[in-house]
Amino acid sequence: MTIPDQQALKIAVAKAAVAEVREGTILGVGTGSTVDCFIDELARAGVRLAAAVSSSRRTSARLESLGVRVIGLEALKEPMDLYIDGADEIDARLCMIKGGGGALTQEKIVASAARRFICIVDASKRVEILGRFPLPCEVIASAITPVSWAIRALGGEPVLRSGVLTDNGHPILDVRGLQIEDPEAMERTLNQIPGIVTNGIFALRRADLALVASPAGVVRLQHN
């Protein structure tokens, strides 16, 4: 798939996501190139939000540049109706790997504060088994060595993402070589390793709906 073709699919799925947003709501917004398209299409459609809760400085800047008021989670009086974000991989059960853009911790936090999670992707992100895309793990810097030992014991090979710190000020280890056949179990296992702030498996809080764009159109996938 060429870059122009993939960009067209991102725009198509962004437009489909805009149709899911209610006027006047507080919306949770993720991070990434597909989300950038969604923010642009939301503005183009003239959908007025009460406010947005953002998962990254990058997203906050884009929302504010288009006139959307960005608030923190502490301003919420109840869970948001909807969170919209992309993914690096998604399986048939709507479990995901996220964090290629480095915002995995805030994405997981904001997703936890929403009643409904819609994932927007192009068809190239669909996989049978998670793990082809390197799994991001945000880690405490002083724990990189013991965390790496623990990850290798699980069969993965961690590689420090060079020159990158998250919005929280932490480095990221990208883990290659994992075949994640049980995403929930792997997410729990990684959660227990001291020094890992967040891992990029979104299975315990998976998507409720995936909008998937292909040249044939945008399809809706849901899990039971």
Q: Which of 114, 121, 59, 115 is nearest to 96 (CA)?
A: 121
- Helix (H) or strand (E) run with residue 220 in it: strand 217-222
| Residue 107 designated active-site | yes
Collapsing DSSP states into helix, strand and coil, what is residue 29?
Answer: strand
CB 179 within 8 A of CB 151: no
Rounded-to-integer distance, Cα 73 and Cα 10, Å:
27
Rounded-to-integer distance, Cα 48 and Cα 43, Å:
8
Per the structure block, which two tokens stand in for 108? 């997981």
Q: CA Rg, the chain, in Å?
A: 17
- Helix (H) or strand (E) run with residue 198 in it: strand 196-199
Collapsing DSSP states into helix, strand and coil, what is residue 185?
Answer: helix
Catalytic residue (choose from 41, 107, 138, 187) = 107
Amino acid identity, residue 135? L
Catalytic amino acids?
107
